[in-house]
């Protein structure tokens, strides 16, 4: 394995984040902090507890994932789209580095950014909300797995996109609505029975509930099933990426 090439791409991507700290870190943290203030402190104090957890604390995992999912996709999509856009992707393909190593470098860097961002938001939430973490190791495991999975998805999006507009379509028009409807701000048990059934077809429900379970030990769906759904989605993304490099879809053409 070409560790030097992986390290070079990895460090380059992280250095790009350091040059854009306002956009990469400060802006998402500020936006999420406003959610904590409005929904946690202002509205949360007037809401009833959900499954024995205060409303302000209940929405913390959902708000963290709301940012992590979008940023994971954006980070990975942009990192592979730019080499395609400026033509340096051909130099990368001609270099002595395999497709597997390319994916490790780009997805690894994007996932690192997402995990760090998620932990910063977690610490920031402490300033506004009092909450506990029942299973901290599982919380970290879910955060890492979800970040890697959606960075893989973002990598696919970055290859598929033909312009900057397409890079924003999926995060803003698909992922964001699914996250809002995936139980980030409520328990799906609060919905009418018919809508509870419909909600189970939303994949984000399993992500949010698995992550919330690691905080409070409560979940609308089985935590093991949530973990299985994350792994399944990761395997699907890996299969698609394997197909992309095997066929050269929008990579070699």
pLDDT digits (tens, 9 = 90+) for 12-35: 888 877 777 777 778 888 888 888
Are 148 and 105 spatial neighbours (Cβ–Cβ below 8 Å)? no
Instruction: Count the alpha carbons within 13 Å of 151 in the hemisphere toward its beta carbon.
Output: 24
**CA dist 171 to 38, 84, 150, 183, 244, Å?**
23, 20, 11, 17, 21
Q: What percent of the chain has pLDDT over 90?
A: 36
The per-residue pLDDT for 104 is 93
Q: What is the mean pLDDT of residues 158-182?
A: 84
For 66, counting Cβ atoms within 10 Å of its Cβ (0-12 exposed, 13-18 middle, 19+ buried), the class is buried
Q: Which residue has the higher pLDDT, 66 or 165?
A: 66
- Name the residue among 170, 175, 222, 167 with its Cα closest to residue 200: 222
**CA dist 10 to 22, 101, 148, Å?**
20, 11, 14
102-125 pLDDT per residue, tens: 899 999 999 999 999 999 999 998
Structure tokens at 101: 């190593």
Query: What is this structure's pTM?
Result: 0.91
């Amino acid at each position: 394995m070409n560790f030097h090439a992986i390290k070079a791409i990895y460090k380059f991507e992280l250095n790009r984040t350091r040059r854009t700290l306002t956009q990469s870190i400060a802006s998402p943290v500020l936006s999420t902090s406003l959610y904590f203030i409005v929904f946690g402190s202002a509205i949360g104090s007037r809401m009833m507890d959900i499954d024995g957890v205060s409303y302000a604390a209940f929405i913390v995992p959902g708000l963290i994932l709301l940012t992590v999912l979008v940023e994971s996709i954006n980070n990975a999509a942009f990192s592979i789209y730019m080499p395609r856009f400026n033509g340096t992707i051909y130099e990368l393909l001609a270099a002595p580095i395999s497709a597997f190593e390319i994916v490790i470098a780009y997805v690894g860097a994007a996932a690192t950014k997402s995990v760090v961002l998620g932990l910063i938001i977690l610490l920031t939430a402490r300033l506004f909300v009092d909450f506990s973490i029942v299973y901290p190791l599982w919380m970290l495991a879910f955060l890492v797995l979800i970040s890697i999975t959606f960075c893989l998805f973002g990598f696919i999006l970055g290859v598929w996109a033909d312009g900057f507009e397409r890079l924003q379509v999926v995060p803003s028009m698909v992922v964001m609505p699914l996250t809002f409807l995936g139980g980030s701000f409520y328990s799906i048990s609060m919905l009418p029975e018919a809508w509870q059934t419909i909600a189970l077809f939303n994949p984000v429900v399993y992500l949010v509930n698995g992550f919330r379970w690691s905080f409070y030990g409560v979940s609308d769906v089985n935590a093991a099933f949530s973990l299985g759904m994350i792994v399944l989605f990761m395997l699907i993304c890996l299969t698609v990426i394997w197909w992309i490099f095997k066929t050269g879809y929008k990579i070699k053409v």
